[in-house]
Structure 1
Amino acid sequence: MIKHKLWYLLTAFVFFSITAGAQNPFITNQFTADPTARVFNGRVYVYPSHDIPCGPGRGRIGWFCMEDYHVFSSANLTDWTDHGVIVTQNKVPWVKPDSYSMWAPDCIYRNGKYYFYFPTTPKDTTVIKGFTIGVAVADKPTGPFVPQPLPIKGVRGIDPNVLIDKDGQAYLYWSQGEIYGAKLKENMLELASEPKTLGELPTKGLKEGPYVFERKGTYYLTYPHVENKTERLEYATSTSPLGPFKVQGVIMDESPTGCWTNHHSLLEFKNQWYLFYHHNDLSPNFDKNRSVRIDSLSFAPDGSIRKVQPTLRGVGLTDAKQKIQLDRYSRLSNSGASIAFLDTANTFKGWKTVLTNSQAWVQYNEVAFGKQALKTVTMRATAGAGATVQIRTAGAAGPVLAQVVVPKGGQWQEVKAPLSAFKPGTHTLVVSSKTNTPVEIDWVRFE
């Protein structure tokens, strides 16, 4: 056990300084999926699963492949820190060490400890066939997490989720064809009741990934469901943590690009609700390598959840002095503007915005310029025949901040231009082409 603790301490230290950006997907240094978001001590922690490419001797080629878990945190939903690996398949006593099946997890705080729940395949399939669920325990939300020697007795399935009710009773939810729930003992490691099938849900199509929360006396059971061809996010409500539940509607529609899975959590942070979910942004041709996203969520006066429209812009403010990724746009012109990968062989390098004529523009909301006057803008761009790009605020009628002349040439260049206007505060940016020659833009940054 001491060896395990030392290993987790070292991995947490090594990865602590890795940061990620603010837009969707909000983690871009690796594939991530199934995000469970929690607030601990005023900070948001996200516990996703970690997709990796399968290969010979490493998982099932063409399927999901996951060997460990990272945890990410943020104080503002904009700047994210990767705290490194917290649990890995070959460091858990009861787990088959080459199963590559560390699927969707959860984490909860109770009585001074953090309990991390995760599903995977056990070594001993004579006792348990298929998936079961284990727990790792830590003193901090980033670990080190020490796995329990055995999985939770009486639980078979995937996608663990934990609710601690107002009266202190904890509940564990999971899925295996159906969605199940049971009470947990005070120690958070054992069931305190027999599993109950939450059978008031749709009977047609796969249901999985339960996430349960309470709001104003109503218990919301949210889950992915294949109503047609791919998963959409739905919800049901009850006056009790174990139902009966009544199906209410859809939180997010099926992926327009055909990503087969979706998996989510809902979180209230600083008086705003958010939906954490995933899509295959960084792997558009293979939906088993996914990336986590965030968008704002709201409730109607009657308590129903308003449907969430997925965005590239995501949430949070973007600091004008940081690189602003225009390709995570809020709006894009109907013609002459498009988004493409910087390098199709390495999608983790991100995207670029392509403007092909003088009618093309891209809009990016919520840029924080601060109070101190900024004097210049730097744009990373390339334009074979040269181009002129205009940056303004507050839409078509807004003041022009700068005009950037991109010299002709086939290489990426960082071009600097003076600001002709500055207004403190938070603004919408509109970046448009003023010439009929194509220009590609990676990012802009103000100084």
Structure 2
Amino acid sequence: MKNKRLFLLSAFLVIIGTLQAQNPIIKDQFTADPTAKVFEGKMFVYPSHDIPSPIDRLKEWFCMADYHVFSSENLVDWTDHGVILSQENVPWVAPDSYSMWAPECVYKNGKYYFYFPSTPKGEGKRGFSIGVAIADKPYGPFTPQANPIEGVNGIDPCVLIDKDGQAYIYWSGRGMSVAKLKENMLELDSEPIKIEGLPEGFKEGPFAFERNGKYYFTFPWVKEKTETLAYAMGDSPMGPFEFKGIIMDESPTGCWTNHHSLVKYKDQWYLFYHHNDYSPEFDKNRSTRIDSLFFNPDGTIQKVTPTLRGVGITDARKEIQLDRYSRLSNRGAAIDYLNLTNKFEGWKTILSKNGAWIQYNRVDFGNSAPRKVKARVSSEDGGILQIRINGTDGPVISEIKVPKSDKWTEIESPVRSGQSGIHDLYVSLKGNGKVETDWITFQ
């Protein structure tokens, strides 16, 4: 009973708090396959939830028991609204299948419809079905339907609601398919058809959207060894689609999967995707990222290069995680985990050569200039961190003298000249030594 109370208290604190992040955006749990939607003027993200498997047959595979939903107004601070659906409370799902894979959520007729794949219960049941849960709010509570959608067998549902109100559902499984949905959003209103005209190779995770009268059909695609993100375009929600190219290249650091969504928020388009940042040794535990996305004048998509800095503007008075850098000097600068036994504690910056630097863009000092800077640092040799703004040759606004210590220490230093507005930060090592930094903040 005591452990249960502690678990509930921990869950409550997560739900009412906010999660500050760059990339990955959620720092306290694994979140894969992110579907991002704008509801009630906020960004909502509906990911799947990778967990360490409690059963032997999934120890080396994907294991997902439930879904959380997260929201943000600035794409920096994320609120976890807690579990919105789990395998135990869906009537048709095998309760020990751990197969609550990539979901979708849309709004129509005053209701939010949450679509999800899973393994159905019962002898002789094989493969995946796709079910629906309904809520009055984007964060729930969601009530699952008693049965999955008849005629849909597969994974990775995506629903597009066209300008005329007609809804279409896409899914993958033995290729990729699309069908119309009835007005109730719970039944098919047409026979499924296969999506044609796509390149050879394994494909999954369809995400469709409309922009300027064109329909985009995007998908993870194994072009060579691991998944890229690719897309095709057409004049109708059901195709035909013409393949156009790659949105994001294969990961160079070993995550076999990628899964994504594209969304416009406050006049900017964003790509949500995942990577195994917190689990480099096991790519079945993934984490959600965001980067900005742009279109060419002809409507084609510019390729997105993944970043650690991500999107959004960082408040100078919050902890600035320099390890989520914009740029890093070629020599004497590195990033490592704070704690190899618990990677959710995040990363640290290591500067080990005179002049080595790290750049962190878009820090908002607000209207009132800070008077001091605080840093959580460690250095066995001691050293000096120099903080500049707006370039490696920009004005020095503070120097932090780091004492010799093999433990983490919080050091304060005055800020020399008053700064306001948004600036890029450059933190460098002055002189010899080696300094590790967890975070800095201005006060």
SS of residue in 1 equivalent to 2:92: coil
Letter in 1 for 2:77: D
| 1:252 and 2:248 matched | yes
User: Are positions 1:143 and 2:165 aligned together?
Assistant: no
In structure 1, the partner of 2:216 is: 220
Q: Distance in 1 between matches of 2:92 and 2:52?
A: 24
In structure 2, distance between residues paired with 1:59 and 1:25: 28
Q: Does the Cα contact within 8 Å between 1:379 and 1:444 map onto a contact in 2? A: yes
Contact 1:11 1:84 in 2 (8 A): no
CA contact (8 A) 1:49 1:104 kept: yes
The within-5 A match list for 1:121-140 is 121-126=119-124, 128-140=125-137
Question: For residues 210 and 92 of structure 2, what CA distance do their matches in structure 1 show?
Answer: 33
State which drifts further: 392-401 or 232-241.
392-401
Cα pair 2:68 2:83 within 8 Å, conserved: yes
For the 8 Å contact 1:43–1:73, the answer to whether it is kept is yes
Cα root mean square deviation, aligned: 1.4
CA distance in 2, matches of 1:251, 1:20: 28
What whole-Å deviation, never above 9, does each CA across 1:182-210 have from its counterpart, x for those lacking one? 000000011101111002112x3210000
CA contact (8 A) 2:21 2:27 kept: no
Is it true that 1:385 corresponds to 2:384 in the alignment? no
Distance (Å, rounded) in 2 between the aligned partners of 1:400 and 1:167: 57
Gaps of 5+ in 2: 1-7
Partner of 2:4: none
2:65 and 2:87 in contact (8 A); partners too: yes
Contact in 1 for aligned 2:157/2:171 (Cα 8 Å): yes
Report the equivalent of 2:152.
Answer: 155
Match of 1:198 in 2: 195
Shift in CA distance, 421/125, structure 1 to aligned 2, threshold 3 Å: farther
Question: 1:100 maps to what in 2?
Answer: 98
CA contact (8 A) 1:177 1:206 kept: no
Q: Is 1:32 matched up with 2:31?
A: yes
Cα deviations across residues 316-362 of structure 1 (Å, max 9, x unaligned)? Answer: 00000000000000000001000000000000000000000112100
Gaps of 5+ in 1: 1-8
Q: In structure 2, what is the equivalent of residue 3 of structure 1? A: none
> Secondary structure at 1:207's aligned position in 2?
coil
In 1, Cα distance between equivalents of 2:392 and 2:335: 21
What count of residue pairs does the alignment treat as equivalent? 436
Whole-Å separation in 2 of the counterparts to 1:58 and 1:416: 50
User: For 2:58, what is the secondary structure of its paired residue?
Assistant: coil
- After superposition, what is the alpha-carbon deviation per residue over 1:358-393, rounded to whole angstroms, capped at 9, x for unaligned? 121000000000001210000000000111000010
1:113-146 residue CA offsets vs partner (Å, 9 max, x unmatched): 00000001000253x4200100000000000000
Distance in 2 separating the partners of 1:256 and 1:155: 35
Q: 2:347 aligns with which of 351, 366, 370?
A: 351
| Counterpart residue type for residue 162 of structure 2 | D
Once the two structures are TM-superposed, the CA of residue 25 in structure 1 deviates from its matched residue by 0.2
Which residue, out of 177, 180, 191, partners 1:180? 177
How many percent identity over aligned positions? 62
For residues 334 and 139 of structure 1, what CA distance do their matches in structure 2 show? 52
Q: What amino acid sits opposite 2:269 in the alignment?
A: W
CA contact (8 A) 1:11 1:85 kept: no
Counterpart in the other structure of 1:50:
49
Distance 2:334 2:91 in 1: 49
Write the letter of the residue equivalent to 2:333.
A
Contact 1:332 1:362 in 2 (8 A): yes
Question: After superposition, what is the alpha-carbon deviation per residue over 1:280-320, rounded to whole angstroms, capped at 9, x for unaligned?
Answer: 00001110000000000000001000000000000000000
Instruction: Give me the whole-angstrom Cα distance separating, in 1, the residues matched to 2:57 and 2:154.
Output: 19
Write the letter of the residue equivalent to 1:174.
W
TM-score using structure 1 length = 0.96
Name the amino acid aligned to 2:192: P
Displacement over 2 Å in runs of 4+: 9-16
Please give the residue correspondences for 1:157-306 in structure 2 after superposition, counting only pairs within 5 Å. Answer: 157-202=154-199, 204-306=200-302
Match of 1:22 in 2: 21
Q: Which amino acid aligns with 1:136?
A: A
Change (3 A) 1:243 1:145: same
TM-score normalised by the chain length of structure 2 = 0.97
Residues 212 and 220 in structure 1, CA contact (< 8 A), matched pair in contact too: yes
1:18–1:83 CA contact under 8 A, matched in 2: no
Distance in 1, Cα, partners of 2:408 & 2:174: 51
Amino acid at match of 1:377: V
